[in-house]
C-alpha cells in the first residue's frame, strides 16, 4: 500500500468519514447476544473493508478476519493476532507476518496488556501527546465506529460515522 513516510497505518484508515453495515448477524442457539456477524466498511478515501467474527466455533480455529483493500493494495488480518498478509498493488510478492501461538500473543487479553504496556512506556519516555500510539482521540474514533456497528446491527441500516 502506498504510505506517507512515518504515517502509522491506523492514521491512514482513520474514519474521517466512514460507513459501516452489519451484514446478516446471527445469534447461536441459547445466546442472547449477536455471536456471528460480518461488518462491511467504506472509508472516505474509497478504501473498502470487511470484518467477520464468530464466537460460535471452537477456540483454536480462526474466529475473526479483517480485510481492507484499495488502489494501493490489500491486507488480510486473520484471527486478529495470528497472521497478517500484505498484498501491495503492482507486485506479485506478498509479505506475511505470523504470530505463532507459542512465543507470540496467546489470546485477546494479551492485546490489552501489550497496549497498556506500550502506552506506559511512551508516557515514561515523554512522547508528545500527538505522537502517542492509540491516543484518546483515536480511541474515541474507534468507539464511534463500534457504536455505528451496534446501531447497524440493531437497525439493519448503513450508518455513517463522522469524526
If one counts the domains in the chain, the total is: 1
- Does the residue 4 lie in any domain? no
For residue 17, pLDDT over 70 is answered with no
Domain-located, residue 5 = no
Average pLDDT over residues 143-151: 88
Rounded distance between C-alpha atoms, residue 12 and residue 118, angstroms: 20
Output the domain CATH number for residue 141: 3.30.360.10
1 is a domain residue: no
Tell me if 136 is assigned to some domain.
yes
Domain that holds residue 153: 15-162
Q: Is residue 30 part of a domain?
A: yes
100 part of a folded domain = yes
Domain assignment present for 6: no
Q: Which residue has the cell 519516555?
A: 125
104-144 pLDDT, tens digit each: 666 667 778 888 898 899 999 999 988 888 777 778 888 88
Most confident of 72-81, 88-97, 102-111, 137-146: 88-97
Q: Is 56 contained in some domain?
A: yes
Amino acid at each position: 500500500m502506498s504510505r506517507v513516510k512515518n504515517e502509522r497505518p491506523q492514521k491512514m484508515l482513520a474514519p474521517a468519514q466512514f460507513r459501516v453495515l452489519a451484514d446478516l448477524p446471527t445469534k447461536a442457539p441459547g445466546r442472547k447476544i449477536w455471536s456471528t456477524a460480518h461488518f462491511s466498511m467504506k472509508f472516505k478515501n474509497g478504501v473498502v473493508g470487511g470484518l467477520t467474527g464468530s464466537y460460535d466455533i471452537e477456540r483454536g480455529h480462526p474466529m475473526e478476519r479483517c480485510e481492507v483493500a484499495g488502489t494501493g493494495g490489500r491486507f488480510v488480518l486473520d484471527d486478529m493476532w495470528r497472521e497478517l498478509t500484505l498484498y501491495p498493488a503492482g507486485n506479485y510478492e506478498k509479505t506475511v507476518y505470523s504470530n505463532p501461538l507459542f512465543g507470540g500473543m496467546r489470546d485477546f487479553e494479551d492485546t490489552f496488556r501489550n497496549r497498556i504496556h506500550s502506552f506506559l512506556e511512551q508516557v515514561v519516555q515523554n512522547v508528545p501527546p500527538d505522537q502517542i500510539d492509540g491516543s484518546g482521540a483515536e480511541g474515541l474514533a474507534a468507539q464511534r465506529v463500534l457504536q455505528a456497528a451496534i446501531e447497524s446491527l440493531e437497525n439493519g441500516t448503513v450508518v455513517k460515522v463522522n469524526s
